[in-house]
Structure 1
Amino acid sequence: MKLLTTLILLYILATGCANIQSPPGGAGDTLAPNVEYTEPLDRTINFNEDKVIIGFDEYMNRGKVLENLRITPEVKMEFDWSATDLNIKFTEPLQPNTTYAINIGTEYTDYYNNAPKKGFSMIFSTGEKLDSGSISGLLSAADTKGKYLFLYKEKEGIYPDMTTAQPDYFVNTGSSGEFQFVALKPGNYRLLAIDDKFQNRIYDDQVDSYGTALNDVTLTEDSLQVSGINIHIGAKSDYQGPQLISASSQYSGIANLLFDENLDRSTIVKENFKLTSTNGEVPIIGIGTNTKTSSELLIAFDANYAGKELEIKVTNISDSTGNKIQDTASSFKFLVDSTYNRTDFVISSTNLNDSTQKNVSPFFNIIPEKPIFRVKFSKIPDVKSLINSAYLESEGEKIELTLSSENLLDYNFKSENPIKENAEYTLVFDTKGIVDIWGLGLVKDTLYRTKFKTNFAPKYSKIGGDVTATNDCNGNILIRAINTSDNSKYKTTAVDGKWSFEKVTAGSFVFEVFCDENKNGEYDFGKVIPFEYREKYSKSKPYTVNENWEYNEIKLVLDE
């Protein structure tokens, strides 16, 4: 009997395993997936079931499908897969006389990561008719993938509070930024574009980046489809100034400052920082910023304060949105480290030599109006030892260069007077007396002499034209010109419908035009608290600007 039972079990296992099928296709499968059928059919009315089936024509990446599936209005549901069929079971009653829409965007894939050629959508109604209203448009952002559009319906003349209420409808956007809401009833709707950080479908103030639309959308029985809506995502709201959260010392003569957010770099100047000891003020040699983030600063000062307690006080600095530092979070005491930085002191970025007529760019920016020699050190130099260490020679004439710094390691030597085009010069850089703030000289101190010619200076152009607004602009019309060839940017305000830029580099340009209603000089993406619509905005077609060009016939239109 035991032997017979064992044979029966083996037979069942063998035949059962034989019925298990692997996904069709293989490594060479490149066909896009499709939806073969749905239950119920698309556009069904009087729907009274608690289940929907979406049948695909092949095995799917199930996680990707569920990530991209949305149903509006939102309803609680559970998912189950049966081979290539997705079973959706509603776990709460559907609303009566309501049209539901199921959408799956274009970001999902099949088992072999093939994406569909288009997204999937279907609608069905629990009543006797289908709501056919729709709102569509384009989201603009640095990266639109994974962002959301929230849609709120006006109820009894009031829109829901976006900080506490979830939207009536929502869709997420793919890499194209296109969005569409379907199966909408007639009524008034408000849009919000959002980077929903917590994925809670609630606007979280000072957490979520967002943007509002130019106005609300009204759907009527005579006008149920509204398209072409442009909306942009800006930065998150910020009402508080930066805070100094720590100050420390890694080496004698160096203080490391850390703020809770990025600072406006234009406010990072020595006048806004005060360093004191018990005996009085300590002179600040210089301030350096991290190239990637302006929330981290280095303060250089006299290295003879090793082992002493100092206090740093910060005033008048702002964050990137203009909020000034708070008095209660602007000072910090720290103990100066006793260690001197004894690592080798070298010039880490320069290629000066004696080759004739050599272009030393990027260390020398040969623009006749503003010749600049740039040098980078491995450690912080004593600024006093850099003064008069570099100058130009030409036809027996010595041209003095003034010193400035971009940060604690990068320094510029600049001629205050224009130099001649198509002329030969010698750059002299004497490093013999240069020392770091700890008194150590360069590992290799020498006299550099580099010859170059100024026969390749960039040629500037002058551009301008007219700007008109198709609707009233209750503010200034601002034009922002972006050279996409070299990423240079220019901004001006139109006067009596005219605008111009006196000096731009050559390249391919696009022009952004916006109505600066609050006259703050910046484009505003709108507000949630209190609610405000975004400012009117248009973007031009590309224009080509050539060298030494003067063209004043560019016509721009603010068409919102």
Structure 2
Amino acid sequence: MIERCTYNQLYLFRSYILFGIIMYCVCSMFSCANPLPPGGGPKDTIPPEIIHSSLVNGSLQVSVQSIQLEFSKYIDRNKVVAGLFITPSIPFETHWSGKELDIHFEKPFEKNTTYALTVGTDFTDYAGNKPVNAFTLLFSSGSVLDSGKISGQLFGQLAQDCYVFLYAADSANPTTTQPIYKTQIGSNGQFNISALPYGKYKMFAIKDEWKNNLYDIGIDAFGMPSSQVECFKDSILQYLINVRAPKDTVSPLIYSVRHISKGIIEVQCSEELDSLSIHKHFFLLKAKTAQKSISKDSSEMKPTAAYRNPVSAQTILIEYDTNFIASSIAFQMHKDSLLPKDRFGNKLLDSSGFRECAINPKAEVKTPSIINISIKDSTIGFPLQGSIDCISSAFIDIDNFARATLLSQGNKTIPVEIINNTGTAISIKPSSALESDTWYSLSISSATLKDSKGTPFKDTVLRYRFKTQDTRLLGSIQGILQDQAGIGPYIITLRKADKTIAASINIEKKGPFQFTAIPSGNYTLEAFEDKDHSGLYTYGDILPYVYAERFVIGAKTGTISVKQRWSVDGIIIELPLP
């Protein structure tokens, strides 16, 4: 009995020893991969940085086979290596020891060549802190260090973690050719590319999602400079770049066509459509009875209206005359260059030819109505030059809507302008500025409204009372827009502290500008030259290569503080040179 117990104890002891050895090896393995700092203490908010390099920045006649970089703290090693690059490109491999990174070059440097080794900003320490700026080490295999430099700043919600790619001025397609120089922007959006040969370049901001040093259309967000990128002796040019969403090159498709109510066909599409690109003349409808085929004896029906569904941006509603008697309707788009488009200008496609949808003989006429209005009853602080937006469930005849709308102040009728935005979206704008601190009344008698088929709207009267802003509690901003290179027109936007737009004005040429009736608060100014007269900022394009419009964010005075009854004067906005 004693011998048996001793054997069991010995077996358990050996098992514990073996388990301990295995756990030690596992922990050591993970420790070598990404060692963790000790825990405890206050929250760490200090960003990591490179505190030592085995090669002095700006070194000449360099022929080393490896370079060592020491970090200030433990970091995510994999992301550091992923954001490590050297330009011009040369193959290398990496090894870690604690907080030190060893970079071993797999072949000799080219003769008389300046290199830039960069560690990007797309990594963190174990507290989640990112470096403020990218690290760049410059050195040359020859006796001269190229001294050209290009710098700038990226803007936009997608600018974070973007790279700046630099190519020769006559470079090939960036979707197949890697850049000769690149860097990653810092957390403040700024970038610097140093040690460049003097000359001209092509430059793009790329959010390189696949980390392949290529521009992947439809995947990577991108930004363009507003002019030729140049690098001269004793000259450092600043380039501002607005980063836009990935370019959508996929055309929207028609998924289905169905009859949803008497006199209305619904066309379901694969993505959101531009409401301004939809018109009734783009569509062909043919009525089919039970005894007739579509191809021979069908009666052509001209749509009375076509518009984007106000409650579903991916569908088109087509209205037609309800006097047609049909068991089904065939739908087809005209082969026209002016077809409906998505938000990026891609045309709606349908390769199926005629689509037939059955008509429900019991379908009733759907009563249209006003489904949304941008003002609430008893609103206080309505802008003196504001407008009221209405959304209808169906197409509205603009003349009927004008007759049904009444804006008044007491017994006085206020003239208004009715603006037809999309057929279902209509704006009511007073013909002149309203009076300060005054109550107004808006009424819309929808009983007089009809859609394109002649169907009356829901019989109701919408009434809203609102009070205008008190100008005694408002301020103003005025200044001068300066531009040494452009001729206009210009669009100037005033943004609140939360980045929402407070006001926007157009001026035909450089010179004085003014914002009036501005509530107290802190604001920033943005401006761009609307060179293509589109009314919107143009980001440019990579393929084909098109420059962006010039812009500036922020006045020379920085943030503008507006106070009640005060006019902030002397504001200067200066657009950068191209």
Answer yes or no: same fold by TM over 0.5. yes
Is the Cα–Cα contact under 8 Å of residues 505 and 547 in structure 1 kept in the other structure?
no
TM-superposed deviation, 1:481 = 1.5
- Determine the structure 2 residue equivalent to 1:231: 241
Residue 125 of structure 2 corresponds to residue 110 of structure 1 = yes
Matched residue SS, 1:310: strand
2:301 counterpart of 1:281 = yes
Q: Which residue of 2 aligns with 1:470?
A: 484
d(CA) in 2 for partners of 1:175 and 1:215? 26
Where in structure 2 are the equivalents of 1:384-533 lying within 5 Å? 422=438, 425=441, 427=443, 450=463, 452=465, 454=467, 456=469, 468-471=482-485, 473=486, 476-485=487-496, 486-494=501-509, 498=511, 506=518, 508=523, 510-514=525-529, 516=531, 525=539, 528=542, 531=545
Gaps of 5+ in 2: 1-6, 288-297
Segment of structure 1 superposing worse, 177-186 or 537-546: 537-546
1:297 aligned partner: 316
Whole-angstrom CA distance in 2 between matches of 1:409 and 1:393: 24
Offset at residue 493 of structure 1 (A): 2.0
SS at match of 2:93: strand
SS in structure 2 at match of 1:484: strand
Is 1:62 the equivalent of 2:77? Answer: yes
Corresponding position of 1:138: 153
1:150-204 CA distance string (max 9 Å, x none): 12246xxx55554543211111224422111123344544423334465443446
Given the superposition, is the C-alpha separation of residues 457 and 527 from structure 1 closer, same or farther in structure 2, using an over 3 Å criterion? same
Matches of 2:537 and 2:367, distance apart in 1: 48
What SS is found at the alignment partner of 2:82? helix
Task: Tell me if 1:75 matches 2:90.
Answer: yes
How far apart, in 2, do the equivalents of 1:11 and 1:461 lie?
A: 75
Partner of 1:99: 114
Q: CA 1:301 to 1:198, structure 2 compared with 1: closer, same or farther past 3 Å? A: farther
Q: 1:335 is matched with which residue? A: 357
Which residue is 1:308 aligned to?
328
Structure 2 distance, partners of 1:129, 1:17, is 49
Q: 1:8 Cα shift?
A: 12
The CA deviation at 1:26 is: 1.4
Residues 312 and 331 in structure 1, CA contact (< 8 A), matched pair in contact too: yes
State the distance in 1 between where 2:56 and 2:345 align. 55
1:266 aligns with 276
Coordinate RMSD, CA, aligned: 5.6
Q: Percent same amino acid at aligned positions?
A: 21
Aligned residues: 530
List per-residue Cα deviations over 1:463-512 (Å, max 9, x = no partner).
887655435x4xx3222121224444332322xx65667x9663646252
Residues 150, 359 of structure 1: CA spacing in aligned structure 2 closer, same or farther, 3 A cutoff?
same
Return the alpha-carbon distance in structure 2 between the equivalents of residues 401 and 559 of structure 1. Answer: 40
Relative to structure 1, is the Cα distance of residues 218 and 394 closer, same or farther in structure 2, using a 3 angstrom cutoff?
A: closer
Contact conserved, 1:286 with 1:299, CA < 8 A, in 2?
yes
Which of 141, 151, 166 is 2:178 aligned to? 166
Cα 1:292/1:490, change in 2 over 3 Å: farther
Q: Does 1:249 align with 2:275?
A: no
Q: Cα deviation per residue 1:46-84 (whole Å; 9 max; x = unaligned)?
A: 444443332334322223323332322222233333333
Relative distance call for 1:146 and 1:283 in structure 2 (3 A) is same
Q: Distance in 2 between matches of 1:450 and 1:74?
A: 69
2:481 and 2:270 mapped to 1: Cα distance? 42
Structure 1 residue runs of 5 or longer lacking an equivalent are 353-357
**CA distance, structure 1, for counterparts of residue 372 and residue 541 of structure 2:** 45
1:249 maps to a residue whose letter is R
State whether residues 59 and 139 of structure 2, in contact with CA within 8 Å, keep that contact through their aligned partners in structure 1: yes
Shift of 1:11: 11
Distance, in Å, in 1 between the alignment partners of 2:550 and 2:396 is 51
In the alignment, residue 493 of structure 2 is paired with which amino acid? I
> Secondary structure of the equivalent of 1:249?
strand
User: Is this contact kept in 1: 2:507–2:513, CA < 8 A?
Assistant: yes
Deviation at residue 427 of structure 1 after TM alignment? 3.8
SS at match of 1:510: strand
Alpha-carbon distance in 2 for matches of 1:326, 1:232: 28
- 1:285-313 deviation line (CA, Å, top 9, x unaligned): 452346795x6433344577775132243
Aligned partners of 2:225 and 2:239 also within 8 Å = no
- Shift in CA distance, 12/536, structure 1 to aligned 2, threshold 3 Å: closer
Instruction: Quote the offset at 1:126 in angstroms.
Output: 3.4
Quick check: 1:212 aligned with 2:232? no
State the alpha-carbon separation in 1 of the partners of residues 508 and 319 from structure 2. 40
CA contact (8 A) 2:132 2:186 kept: no
TM-score (norm 2): 0.68
Amino acid at match of 1:279: S
In structure 2, relative to structure 1, the CA distance for the partners of 1:34 and 1:292 (3 Å cut) is: farther
Between the aligned partners of 1:555 and 1:18, the Cα distance in structure 2 is 63
What amino acid sits opposite 1:299 in the alignment? I
Equivalent position of 1:355 in the other structure:
none
Q: TM-score normalized by structure 1?
A: 0.70
CA shift, 1:211, in A, is 1.0
State the distance in 1 between where 2:516 and 2:374 align.
29
Contact 2:155-2:243 within 8 A present in 1 as well: yes
Q: Secondary structure at the match of 2:80?
A: helix
Q: Deviations over 1:7-32 (max 9, x none)?
A: 99759938956994662221545144
- Which residue identity is paired with 2:507? T
Secondary structure at the aligned position of 1:65 is classed as helix
Deviations 1:86-107 (A, max 9, x none): 3333334432333332222344
Give the aligned residue type for 1:493: E
Aligned residue among 13, 24, 32 for 2:21 = 13
Q: 2:373 & 2:16 partners in 1: Cα distance?
A: 83
| 2:293 counterpart residue number | none
